[in-house]
Each structure stands twice: as C-alpha cells, then as structure tokens.
Structure 1
Amino acid sequence: MRPSPPTARPRAALALALGTALTLTLSLVLALLALAPSAARADTGFRVEDGRLVDAAGNDFLIRGVSHAHTWYLQETGSFADIKEQGANTVRVVLSSGQRWTENGPADVANVVSLCKANRLICMLEVHDTTGYGEQSGAATLDQAVDYWLRVQDVLEGEEDHVLVNIGNEPYGNNDAVNQGWADDTIAAVGRLRDAGFEHTLVVDAPNWGQDWQGIMRRDAPLVAAADDNTVFSVHMYGVYQQESTVVSYLEHFANAGLPLIVGEFGHDHSDGNPDEDAIMEHTRRLGLGYIGWSWSGNGGGVEYLDMVEDFDPARITPWGERIFHGPDGIGETSVEAPVYGGGGEPTDPPTDPPTDPPTDPEGECTAEFRITNEWQGGFQAEVEVTAHTALTGWTVAWTAPSGQSVSQSWNTDLTASGGTVTARNAPYNGGLAAGAATTFGLIGNGPAVVPDPTCAAA
C-alpha cells in the first residue's frame, strides 16, 4: 500500500566409580545430541513444509489478519486488542527503518511483540520504507531494510513461534530495470538475515508496488525458494486484480507449484481500480492460503475508504470492516487462533486442491482466452490464459489486433507484432503443459480496450 500517514559423602573408591559412570553417561548424551541438531531446532518457530506455513508442531496455520499502521500512530496500542476482538489471528505491523519516517527502535519493537502475545496474535513485522523503491523518491533498499532488522535482532531472538519477518513492504515500484533484480536482491537479503542468525519464517513482497503485474515474482519465486526453504511469498492485490480469473490464475499458479503464498495486502476498492475482494477471500479459502487486509485505521490521501474502523474506534466499523470481518469467507468465518496460543482445528470449509480437470469437448490442441483486466484513457492491461487439451511442449497464440490497438509491453511470453498480426510464444519456463493444465501471460496495450479473437496451436 502506498502510505499516506499524518505526516525477548561416599568413600573414595565409590566416588571414583560413580564419577567414571557419570562421565561416560554424559559423553553418551552429548554424542547423541550431536547426531540430531536439526530435531532440536525444529521444536520452535514457524516453518514452511510442503508449500504451507506450519508451526513448530507441524500444525497448519492459515493467516487471517489485518495491517496496523503502528509507526505513524504509536499511541494506538489499544488497536491490538481491538483487532483480536474482531477475530483476527495475525496483525501485520508497519515499522520504519528510518529512511522515510522515524525509526522504530528495539524497545518499541519489543513492546509491539509483547502486545501481540498479550492479545494472542501472531506478529508479522514489516519495514515500510522500502515501498516503491526505484520509483518512489527516498525509498529504502532491501539491503537497508536488512540493516534495520539486524539492529533489532536481539529483541526478536527466541520469538520465532510468535513473529514472522516481512523484510520490506512493496520493495520495488514499476521501474522494469530495477524490478528484474528482484530475485537476486531478495536472495541476498534473505541470506544476510540467515547468516546473522535469524531463524524466523521470512516473508518477501512482490515488485510492482507488491502487485507483480509483470509476473516477476511469479516467474522467479522458485529461485528464492531453492535458496531458502523457510520463506513465504506475498502478493498485494489491488487494481491489477479486478477480475476473478486474474485472482484465480495467480493464486493457483503458486498452489500448483507447491510454493507458499499469502495475499499480504488487499482492499475492497483502490485508486488504481476495484479489486475483486470476494474472489480473493473465496479462493484463498478454497486453496488454504493466508490473507491480510489493509488496514485497521488511519488511511489518508484519498484512500480513507480502506479504513476498517473510523478513528481507531472499533464501535465505528466501516463497510470495508463489515465485509472483511463479517462477510462470506471473511475473518469471522475462517480465522482460527494460532496453535501456540492453544488454537487449532480447521476453518469451516477445509482447503481443497485446485481443479485440474480438462475442459469438456476441447477444440484443437489448446485454446486461448483474452481478458481485459484494467483500462484507462488510451490504454489497457490484458491477460491471456492458455489451456492445453493435449500434452504440450510449447505453444503459440496469435490474433489480429483491432484497429488502432498495439502492444507496448508483455511478460511471461515472447511476443512479436508484424502489421496487424500479434504472435505470442511461450517463454522458456511455461511451454510444457500437461493435458488440462493452463498458464497465463500478460500485456500492456495502447488504443481501444477491445478483446480480439486469439487462436492457439502447439509449437
């Protein structure tokens, strides 16, 4: 979210015999402990297991939370209890590393963690200064965010079963040259934290102001997962996710790949378009994925409608608050308290596997569906879903551009245009599709937001 705030005694012979026995016993115990250090480490803290977030005992934990703008409203400490009262099991706490706002020091962070624990909430801590780096003036780098986490490390040690570390909020804007370094920079940031001794589950945000409309995190998440097996990926769903199909495509991509994903921010409306909050909540529930709504209170700059309560008063709940707390698939229906606090069990409808059945009576080897996901004066954003009807090793989608329409940018595809014909071929990583499987690519277009009639063929 782009912020708009106000501005942790026998005789000697017997004694000799007993001493020898004790020495041998101690040596045996130490030898056994040396053989199993990993088992000891597994007794505390969250971890990722088979693409899911679990606690130390291996229980699934489905995040159902709310963001709280703590760094701009330090006096609103009662919000932790109020958020818990509405049924949330997690609070995502906005902190500052000092580049753009006043740094939250160790004592303040320790107090935040204690407030989370006192109110039986899991604490997801995030550095907000990284928001929009490469596009937002003064934004911090991921490296600077890591420097901050190292400054507060002492108060977070031992809290691995209560705290998740969201390294940096929306760490890149829409600067493509910067965004392409997302994977390398993220791997480096995670590596620095691990080398310093952080054992917490880490959460990493997508580029493009968190929305990943270029598909960079979607493409490169496996590289980060291979480098660290206790990292969760976070996408923020605002105007890019106006269509249910776009929401489903993104969520199912991670679920099918066995990669841990949460929707780390979303709302019911936004200045860049109206996200489909119903689809976000329905399909995260179906797939067993966590979500965190933005935000409890204190929004400004024209997005005050994202407040869940007015002026931090839980008695003055807003339409957005009513929706996320009390609506279908909302926090009230789906939140379960963290097992570390004694909670457990499953939400009303346990997660089911994503649908994998092929379409009925398919025509040809594959089909392509072109969808407009966003539009503005003189341009639009679109998504094309390719569905295989037989096993494919590659595919090609082609269409005739409507009059006045052209493509200026694309992702997850190798796209060319000649005359009025646009041809999109699979990227190196998404050409192989089993029968019934699907993949998507996206594009930015100039001209009228008119849907063409694409054809698909095996390559």
Structure 2
Amino acid sequence: MKRKLIVLATALLAAAASVLFFTGPAYAATGLHIVGRNIVESNGSTFVMRGVNHPHAWYASRTGSFADIKAAGANTVRVVLSGGRWGTNTAADVTNVIALCKQNKMICVLENHDTTGYGEDGAAYTLDQAANYWIGLKSVLVGQEDYVVINIGNEPIGNTNPGQWTAATVAAIQKMRSNGFEHLLMVDAPNWGQDWTYVMRDNGQTILDADSRHNTVLSIHMYAVFNTASSITNYLDTFQTKGWPLVIGEFGWQFASGEVDDATILSEAARRNLGWLGWSWSGNTDPILDMTTNFDATQLTTWGQRIVNGAYGLKATAKQATIFGTTTTPTHPTDSPSPTPSTTTPPPPSGACTATYAVTGQWGGGFQADVKVTAGSSAIKGWTVTWTYGNGQTVSQAWNATVTSSGSSVTARNVSYNGSLGAGATTQFGFLGSWNGTNSVPTLTCAAA
C-alpha cells in the first residue's frame, strides 16, 4: 500500500510539473499558426480572416484589384493559382502576388485550383500533384510564414468517392511537412468543398493529427447545400464542439430561393469569431457571384454591397493583421472637433422592446438596411417590428426575420432562433429593398411577446 502511495505521489508531482512548465505547443511556432480553434500571429494576436477571393489564375493582369480589395475593408485575400490546368502561375508571378498582398497589408491565402472536383472532373489534378506545385515554389514561399497561408488544393474531391479525401489530404500534408514547409496549411472539404457527405466533419481529427506541426486549418465552402440557418449552425456547431480550427473559405449569396443563406453565415461567423472569404471579386462565368462589375470597385453589385457594407461585412468586422501595424486616424491640433449631439433615449419599459433602422448600403434603385432589436428591462419571448414607408420603398428579400408587406406598411417578426432575448439583449435582421427618389428612414414600432 505504501509503495502504491509513493508511486501515486510521484505521478502527481510529475503531472504538476508538466503543467507548470508547459508554455505552448511542442514546436516553435513560425508565423501564422493554430492555437486551439484560432489562427494566431507570431506575436500571439488572434487573427480572424475577413476577405474575398481573387481569380488571379484567369485574370493575372488585374493586379489593381489587390488595392481595391483592401480599400473595401478586407484583411485577407485568397488568390487563385494554377500549376498547369489553367496555365501556370510561375515563381516570379507568385512572388509578385505576395508582394502585392504585403504592399496592401493583407494576409495572402494562396490556393491551387487545379484539384477542383478530382474524381468527378477528369481534368482535375490530385492533391499529390498540388503538393508538388508548392514544392516547386518553395524558394519563394519560405520566409513568408507571417504573411502567407497555403491552401493546398481547392475543393480537391468531387462527389465521386468522397471518402478518398481523408487519405489524400493526410498524404499531402505530410508531404508538405517532410519538404520543410512551416506555413499555416489550409485544407478544403470534399464534395466540391461543401462536405455534404460529412467526410471532413467526421474525419477532421485525423487530418489535424497528421500534421507534425499541428498547424492546419480546415475550410468549408458554403453554397446551395447550406441554404437554411439550421444547416449552417448545425455544421458549425460540430466543429466548435470538437474544438477544431475552421474557416469558411468560400461562400456565395442567397440570390434566389434555395441558394446559400449568406446572412446566417455572416452573423454566425461574427458570433463565433470565424474567418470567411467570399467568392469572388469579379470575373465569374456566372456574374451573379461577382462583387464588382468588370473588376470596377466603384460598381459594387448587390453581392458586393452585402459583403463590403453589410452589418457583418468587411467594413464592419475586418481587423488588419498586427504584422502590418495598426491604423489610426491622426488628430491635427488645428482641427476643430464637431460637436457631439446630446440625445437622451429613455429605457424601454419592462417587457418591451425598441428597434433602430439603418441604411447600410445604397445604390441606384436599391439599398440594404439593418434593424437592431433590443429587449427592455425584462426578457422577452418574441418581437414584432412594424413601420410605414413614406417614399414608396419596398422590401424584396430579408434575413433573420419574417418580413411581410401590405402597401407601404411593413411587418417583421422574429424567426425561431432570435425571438427570445434576455433583458437588454439585442439581435439584428436585415433586408434588401428598392427605392426611387428618396430613401428616408421610417419610424419603427417594436412590440414584445
């Protein structure tokens, strides 16, 4: 018995010592790296990707788009590259891309697009071939670990035998590490990135464990498979519960019934501190997914307005990586500060709610607005917001609320997941609308249940 107590005491002391002296991962982190579920910079600052995809492989002359994407508020740009399927982006070209990212103070996610749909698309390359492409570029990538994430292969397996993804991804990661790459690696899901057969969801730990540097982030692409709030939240909940690092590497918008619920993606990403990269700046064969018209940053499309100026868009949520320093607006001694208006808003009565309306983006004939609902001094179980337009505006599409119209009168009711609010708690919903002539802000009334 005494011997067992001595052994137990020794084990406890050893365990305590391991806790006292453990200061981080069992390897020296180089540049961007994973800590828990987060992407972290070399100085320990958490970095949350907020950006867009740029189809550089097909539009290599559109280098001015890097500055435009930064001006739109992005802190990251995911750059499409090809190692042969659509021509070859050479070491010199990739060097220039990295320089453009750094010049515009954005983290650069470099992705090889050759692998798209392998197994279903006969022209697609394997993940092993993609790893060889990166090995061929090693001389221009080493030393850029603070600035560059390597997305090994875009949507690397189609819908034919998606189960092959696990072994292929493990092998590609290990090939990258055995060839000396220290970078943060990003791996896309199978099923053309959408993982609807849940291969990545069910095998994520195998992928993460395969990385000897423990420096891999999983990436989901969300399109029409994720067309409801529940499909999105359920998927994201699984990764959060398991503690796995995840980014939403591509997604589109709900331009038609049955398409991706981008509003939920954006709001859930903000709530969970998840990174995202919208597809794409311009140049799509289906221009509904273009954020700009013909790469012109002054011509944002509806999709572009939502990504750039929306309540959870780039300008509202993106924070520049600290590797580039902080941005501040200087105050000049000769400047005369504008007076701050004095307003007093009485607190809502117990059990009631208030609502505020803001136009977050406006363009010829169209606009986007967001409404913030706040509970009073007591919790509420539901809410209804009503208003009447005075200038002929109409609502065309809404998210995070059920919105109906009767002439100029509009009624918005909570949906299943945002009706219950604690005292003083808030939620938001948004919508797209049309206007002609004047787009004045209406007066809102909020009723609580």
2:45 is the counterpart of 1:59: yes
Counterpart position of 1:281: 266
Q: Deviations over 1:100-136 (max 9, x none)?
A: 2101010000000000000000000000010000111
**3-state SS in 1 of match to 2:88:** coil
Q: Deviations over 1:397-439 (max 9, x none)?
A: xxxxxxxxxxxxxxxxxxxxxxxxxxxxxxxxxxxxxxxxxxx
Q: 1:234 to 1:256 in 2, by over 3 A?
A: same
1:157: Cα distance to partner? 0.4
Q: 1:344 to 1:227 in 2, by over 3 A?
A: farther
Counterpart position of 1:216: 199
Match of 2:244 among 250, 254, 259: 259
Counterpart position of 1:97: 83
Give the distance between the partners of 2:71 and 2:58, measured in 1 at CA: 22
Paired residues for 1:28-427 under 5 Å: 41-42=28-29, 44-98=30-84, 100-175=85-160, 177=161, 179-228=162-211, 229-269=214-254, 273-300=258-285, 303-343=286-326
CA contact (8 A) 1:269 1:306 kept: no
CA contact (8 A) 1:235 1:263 kept: yes
| Matched residue type, 2:247 | I
Structure 1: stretches of 5+ with no match in the other structure: 1-35, 346-359, 361-459
| Matched residue type, 1:146 | A
Work out the number of aligned pairs and report it: 305
Give the distance between the partners of 1:271 and 1:168, measured in 2 at CA: 29
Q: Deviations over 1:328-366 (max 9, x none)?
A: 111111100001111499xxxxxxxxxxxxxx9xxxxxx
Q: Deviations over 1:28-70 (max 9, x none)?
A: xxxxxxxx9x89943x411100121111111110000100000
**3-state SS in 1 of match to 2:247:** strand
Give the distance between the partners of 2:288 and 2:322, measured in 1 at CA: 33
**3-state SS in 2 of match to 1:71:** coil
Give the distance between the partners of 2:191 and 2:256, measured in 1 at CA: 15
**3-state SS in 2 of match to 1:123:** strand
TM-score by length of 1: 0.64
Q: 1:130 to 1:50 in 2, by over 3 A?
A: same
Q: Deviations over 1:75-94 (max 9, x none)?
A: 10000000000000000000
CA contact (8 A) 1:238 1:272 kept: no
**3-state SS in 1 of match to 2:57:** helix
CA contact (8 A) 1:251 1:284 kept: no
CA contact (8 A) 1:239 1:271 kept: no
| Matched residue type, 1:336 | K
Q: 1:212 to 1:343 in 2, by over 3 A?
A: farther
| Matched residue type, 1:264 | G
Give the distance between the partners of 1:235 and 1:285, measured in 2 at CA: 16
The alignment's C-alpha RMSD in Å is 2.1
Q: 1:110 to 1:94 in 2, by over 3 A?
A: same
Q: 1:306 to 1:64 in 2, by over 3 A?
A: same
| Matched residue type, 1:318 | T
Structure 2: stretches of 5+ with no match in the other structure: 1-22, 329-380, 382-449
**3-state SS in 1 of match to 2:217:** strand
Q: 1:211 to 1:39 in 2, by over 3 A?
A: closer
**3-state SS in 2 of match to 1:235:** strand
| Matched residue type, 2:299 | R
| Matched residue type, 1:151 | G
CA contact (8 A) 1:170 1:210 kept: yes
Give the distance between the partners of 1:272 and 1:169, measured in 2 at CA: 26
1:270: Cα distance to partner? 7.0
| Matched residue type, 2:290 | D
1:271: Cα distance to partner? 8.8
| Matched residue type, 2:271 | R
**3-state SS in 1 of match to 2:133:** helix
| Matched residue type, 1:96 | S
Q: 1:272 to 1:136 in 2, by over 3 A?
A: farther
Q: Deviations over 1:6-32 (max 9, x none)?
A: xxxxxxxxxxxxxxxxxxxxxxxxxxx
Give the distance between the partners of 2:311 and 2:27, measured in 1 at CA: 41
Counterpart position of 1:454: none
